[in-house]
Amino acid sequence: MSQSIQAAQEESYGGSDNASGSASLNAETAAALSLLDSRAVWALGLLLAFVLGRVTQKQKLPAGFKRLPKLAGLPYIGRPWGVPMSGADAAWYFSQLHKKYGPIYESEVTGTTHIWIENDKIARELLVHRGRKYGDGYELPAGAGVLGGSEVLPLMGMGQEFWRHKDALNRIANVEDVSFGYSELENKDTLRRVLDSPKEWSQHITTHCARTAARVAWGDARHGTKLMEIVQDLSKAGSPGSPPRQEADLRQQMKVAFFEARDDVIARTQAGTAEGSWMKLCLEKAGGLEKGNLSKQEAALTVGTNALIAIAATGSPLHAFFTAMCSYSSWQPRLHEELDRVCGDRLPRTADLPHLPVLRAVVKETLRWKQPMPLGLSRRTTEDDVYDGYYIPKGAVVHANAYLISRESSKYPEAEEWRPERWLEPSWPTYQEPLSEYPTIRGDAAFGYSTHACPGIELAAIELYTTIGAIAWGYNFKRQEGRQGCENAVPWYETNPYVMNVSSQFPCTVTPRSAEKARYMAGGCEDPSLLVKA
């Protein structure tokens, strides 16, 4: 894990040995004044922090309540140093603090109270059972201005606008065929891309996610190119410690892309050539969407931003699946046997899922093992609250650490190991029956809690089950061998340095399981003209 980064400040000054006495005196005076000014600024800053800290500390608690254990730090400023930038590293960093401060504690950052939670029981009590008190939006300062006000449901504050957009998204996401069959169609193209250039498997996964999201959002995979251009900059902009961004430009880029895609759907609808999509449902007010009453602009931004979220929500576990297959290769034969027995000489379909418990266990364990958002989605309290006698103030930012929640020792023995059997065998505490229904990723903590849980969980479930199933049906995975025939280590801990985590690409040998499957994958591509670009 990343080491804590200690900030260091150095001050130096000096003069020329050959300078005149007057110049030397002036230089020394200027240097002294500069140093004095610097010290004065620091002194005033520390004094202000001390005063503010004393004021906040002296605020009396309501009678009978107590404060949560608090992370030590400077008054008002708190302890911002040493926090890693990457979501995965930051989640691990805070896990070490929980060992000292307990399952729920608070910290302060520039006067704002932050509440940190490490287990599912507390998270569900606060974020689910008391969801309305903990439902206000909180946007990371690094991404402020990029997503704010752009109809991204997880970031919206609680209020009339939130419920109006949530209702519209729920209606869209709960149509009879939420994926419009696109995920299964895209699987054929993805298998062909991997067949043609297996070393580029990571790029093929990203392309698959962008194309599928674009087809679901607008009925045309070609809009996926725009999504791929935006998603990386968006991930960086929303990450702690990210450099200053051209936020207005990125926001404008998003609007242009989403409005163009909306107008394309309008034109194809008028021409009678538009295929099913979220945007088409919004424009037609289908499925009771007239109750949401979203304007065309709101619909464009709502559909577009949630298509972006879908890329990360599915792309992260798809990358983690490759890592798991190369790290725990003994599971490949068991997964292959089930897929061959149920699906035979064709790719898995949504209708097969009740008969594929091993596949569902592999997907669920992959989500537990490597979460798309290790720190979870932060929320802000809308009013004062009390938990177990501890006072939680209005305006506090609440973080449910998904990394820790997925590693509770009582619930997940051997938590750092990827073990799908924990969902399939009665000896494990996570086992549930019937296996025709469980395990399932619906309701999984990786997708958030209660009012701000991912509205596209049904779409994500279908895509992850069928795509991972299709890739496993067609291919074997092996760690690439080194120079002396030794298998290279899989860097399972390496991810991108952003708040939305994706496993880094690594050398992986991906080969067809048989000549018959290779012929099927070569001939099953839906649209050969769109093999490379999204």
Domain boundaries, given as residue ranges, for the chain = 34-148+375-405, 154-371+406-530
Helix (H, G, I), strand (E, B) or coil at 270: helix
Q: Which of 189, 186, 195 is nearest to 517 (CA)?
A: 195
Q: Is 454 annotated as a binding residue?
A: yes
CATH architecture of 154-371+406-530: Orthogonal Bundle (1.10)
Distance (Å, rounded) from C-alpha 454 to C-alpha 166?
Answer: 10
Distance (Å, rounded) from C-alpha 160 to C-alpha 300?
Answer: 19
- Give the pTM: 0.82
**pLDDT computed for residue 33 by the predictor:** 41
**pLDDT computed for residue 444 by the predictor:** 87
Buried b (16+ CB within 10 A) or exposed e, 437-475: ebbbbeebbbbbbbbbbbbbbbbbbbbbbbbbbbbbbbb
Query: Which residue bears the tokens 């004393």?
Result: 54
**pLDDT computed for residue 142 by the predictor:** 45
What tokens does 113 get? 């109270």
Mean pLDDT split into 10-residue runs, the chain, 534 residues: 37 37 41 46 55 53 85 81 70 84 91 92 93 78 46 63 75 74 92 95 92 94 85 59 57 85 94 93 68 76 86 90 94 98 96 98 96 85 94 94 91 96 98 97 83 79 96 94 54 53 79 97 70 44
**pLDDT computed for residue 85 by the predictor:** 63
Bond from prior residue into 429 cis (ω within 30 degrees of 0): no
Give the strands of the sheet with 136-137, arranged side by side.
104-109, 112-117, 397-400, 379-380, 136-137
Decide if domain 34-148+375-405 falls under CATH 3.30.43.20: yes
Query: Which residue bears the tokens 């605020």?
Result: 59
**pLDDT computed for residue 516 by the predictor:** 96
In a 13 Å sphere around the CA of 488, the CA atoms on its Cβ side amount to 14
* CB count in 10 Å sphere of residue 505: 18
